[in-house]
Amino acid sequence: MGKIAFMFPGQGSQTVGMGKQLADGNKHIQSLFDSADQRLGYSLSNLIFNGPQSELTLTTNAQPALLTTSIAVLDAFKHAGIQPDYVAGHSLGEYTALVAAGAISFEDGVYAVRKRGEFMEAAVPNGEGTMAAVLGMGRDELRAVTEKITNDGHSVQLANLNCPGQIVISGTKKGVELAGAEAKAAGAKRVLPLEVSGPFHSQLMKPAAERLSEVLEEINLQDAKVPVIANVTADEMTTAAEIKTRLIEQLYSPVLWEDTVKRMLELGVDTFIEIGPGKVLSGLVKKVDRSAKIYAISDEQSIQAAVEGLKEGSL
């Protein structure tokens, strides 16, 4: 049998009510949500279970909410006894992957991403930075576009290299607008502005990275028990020292998700399990390799279906 990777979603997958079915009637899972509330000093769980969506979507809430819910789903999945060979997460999801790999405690993970969200929000005044998805253009062509606009004095860069033909750019509002127009003129199929509160994974996040490094000093980072594929390098990392460096770089560097998936395939992974709300990463893996076995789990039904499918696959 091939190797298994666990993947954890990033910001944008949050929905009101996520994880509630798993927490209802399961004291251990409910205690995870209670622990998050305690560590943050407010009722994150009430916001996750009852909304409103507008509050849940704020970066400072969405990040700890997704980490907490994804770890709750992982906890519910543990009874199946399936262990990953590798773990990875998209942006915020990298922290969830690190909790899953034993490099960060759950409580410290929740705290770190809450602070990360605060620093990201504070780095650039609201409305000054943005992001857009560019469809149907290669990374080299798009990089040439962003470099041209940056050389003209506007900040914009590649931010998420998600899958072939889907790349997100990030920067100042003007920089992203100009790069989007230039990309379309150069042959991009579509440019879609994203509903985000800032220019994430761009150089404009450097002030946030400096503040985040102080928080990472406070918490107890350990070596990962399972190799984590880093967003910044698309390569395995296990040592606490490298993990800290990569988490700081990650705030202002592109998320190399397509490369991450390709790296896991190279390492012999043939089964990808997306753990947490939504199916965004499952869709991206399919676009990289149609033959990969993919499961997305977020509730009891999807967990059961994955367990049955994995058992059949190993017979």
Which positions are annotated as active-site residues?
91, 201
Contact (CB, 8 A) for 20 and 56: no
SS3 state of residue 160: strand
Please say whether the beta carbons of 292 and 272 come within 8 A: yes
- What backbone phi and psi angles, to 5 degrees, belong to 162? -80, -45
Own/partner pairs, 53-58, CB within 8 angstroms, 24+ separation: 53/15, 53/16, 56/14, 56/15, 56/16, 57/14, 58/117, 58/121, 58/197
Q: Quote the CA–CA distance of 15 and 6 in Å, as a whole number.
A: 21
Instruction: Give the DSSP letter of residue 233.
Output: T
For residues 117 and 36, is the Cβ–Cβ distance under 8 A? no
Tell me whether strands 3-8 and 269-275 are parallel, antiparallel or unpaired: parallel
**How many Cα atoms sit within 13 Å of 252 on the Cβ side?**
18
Helices (H) and strands (E) in the chain, counts: 14, 10
CB 14 within 8 A of CB 56: yes
Instruction: State whether the Cα torsion 21-22-28-31 is positive or negative.
Output: negative
HSE toward the beta carbon, residue 312, CA cutoff 13 A: 7
